[in-house]
Amino acid sequence: MNTTRYNIDTCAMLAEFNASVWTARKLDKSATEEVVSNKNAQAKDAARVNKHLLAGRNELEVIQQMVGRARQYVYDNTLPWSDSGLRLLPTINFEKFASKMNEFEEEFERVVNEFVTIYPTLITAQAMALGDMFRRDDYPSQNEIMTKFSFRVNYMPVPTAGDFRVDVGNAAMDDIKGKLQRMAEERVEQAMADVRKRLGEHLKRMSDRLTTDYIAGEAKPRRFHDSLVEGALELCDLTKALNLVGDASLEGARSDLEKLLCGVSPTELRKNAAVRDDVKKNVDAILDKFNF
């Protein structure tokens, strides 16, 4: 795929999502020493006993699950760019993406505030839950606990060779710019491979779940969730937005799948064997035609 003809910096930006949640874990030195001694270990660091300061409570899990949903949304609606966590976000999706992330941030602030409000009572309850392992000093103050939570979304432009400025010789400058350009092209290709992989995996899942097995001569359709169809249509919309380089093969597969599922419901696929078999046949044709 030749990506040099596309100005990636004009059709996409970089998005960075970071969130932190208090772990409520604390090394128990006394319990660690006891375990090491009881097991006759010669090395003092042979074991580490970390106590869960909120053992038996699920308030932190609510926050962690909420962050997990936000992180999954970021992964689903962006493309990989760098090992540092930066993601490629199509500008056409920016308003929708930013709006959803704002909703997540508001939800995060709400659940964290709810947690901080009841935090003192949770500490009191843990005195009994942890028994002899309870130490009041293990728990941050109510004011300090707020600093253990954060939710940040940053946006920045995609760097290009033309942005590079440094006082070096012309030959060195050309070499650096060339490397930066090649790096950008490789990352765009990897991003497009990620989109193609998502679509291909869903097509293969559809082919599998729409298969009818025959046991002792009796037709046994495989079970599937409504998301098999609904998720495919959502993926069609997402693929269109994420196809930053206008890959004709990717668009062809996306378009064919969208047309195939137009007017088809999960209920109809379950009840109508002819429709189910026809959709599977066409899904397999898309897989073959576009070499997934």
Do 152 and 221 lie in a common domain? Answer: no
Q: Which of 115, 140, 158 is the last residue of a domain?
A: 158
180 pLDDT band, cuts 50/70/90, is: low
Do 19 and 140 lie in a common domain? Answer: yes
Beta-carbon contacts of 149 under 8 Å, excluding residues fewer than 6 positions away, are 20, 21, 22, 63, 108, 112
Tokens 């249509």 sit at which residue? 233
Pair 70, 19: CB distance under 8 Å: yes
Do 149 and 22 lie in a common domain? Answer: yes
pLDDT of residue 175: 58
Burial of 204 (0-12, 13-18, 19+ CB in 10 A): middle
Do 57 and 142 lie in a common domain? Answer: yes
pLDDT of residue 33: 64
Do 39 and 85 lie in a common domain? Answer: yes
Residue 181 lies in a domain: no
Q: What percent of the chain has pLDDT over 70?
A: 82
For 18-38, the pLDDT digits (tens) are 999 999 988 766 655 665 566
For 221-261, the pLDDT digits (tens) are 999 999 999 999 999 999 999 998 899 999 999 999 999 99
Q: Which token pair is 10? A: 């004009």
Residue 65 lies in a domain: yes
Residue 272 lies in a domain: yes
Closest among 258, 265, 281, 245 to 199, alpha carbons compared: 258
* Spatial separation of the C-alpha atoms in residues 87 and 82, rounded to whole Å: 7
Do 22 and 112 lie in a common domain? Answer: yes
Do 31 and 134 lie in a common domain? Answer: yes
Neighbours of 40 (CB within 10 A): 7
The pTM for the full model equals 0.77
Q: What is the mean pLDDT of residues 155-178?
A: 60
Q: Per DSSP, what are the bridge partners of residue 150?
A: 20
pLDDT of residue 3: 42
Residue 141 lies in a domain: yes
Q: Which of 106, 132, 158 is the last residue of a domain?
A: 158
Rounded to the nearest integer, the mean pLDDT of the chain is: 87
Closest among 30, 38, 90 to 240, alpha carbons compared: 90
> What's the domain range around 210?
192-289
* Spatial separation of the C-alpha atoms in residues 187 and 199, rounded to whole Å: 19
Question: Considering Cα of 63, then 66, then 71, then 74, what sign does the dihedral take?
Answer: negative
For 33-66, the pLDDT digits (tens) are 665 566 566 566 665 657 789 988 899 999 999 9
Do 13 and 150 lie in a common domain? Answer: yes
Do 56 and 145 lie in a common domain? Answer: yes
Q: Which of 158, 183, 215 is the last residue of a domain?
A: 158
Of residues 116 and 171, more confidently modeled: 116
Do 112 and 248 lie in a common domain? Answer: no
Q: What contacts 24+ positions apart, CB below 8 Å, involve 129-134? A: 129/55, 129/56, 130/51, 130/53, 130/55, 133/28, 133/31, 133/51
Residue 66 lies in a domain: yes
Do 81 and 199 lie in a common domain? Answer: no
State the total domains in the chain: 2
Q: Per DSSP, what are the bridge partners of residue 50?
A: 27
Residue 168 lies in a domain: no
Residue 121 lies in a domain: yes
Residue 2 lies in a domain: no
SS3 127: helix
Do 150 and 202 lie in a common domain? Answer: no
Beta-carbon contacts of 89 under 8 Å, excluding residues fewer than 6 positions away, are 12, 13, 14, 15, 77, 78, 79, 97, 155
Q: Per DSSP, what are the bridge partners of residue 212?
A: 221
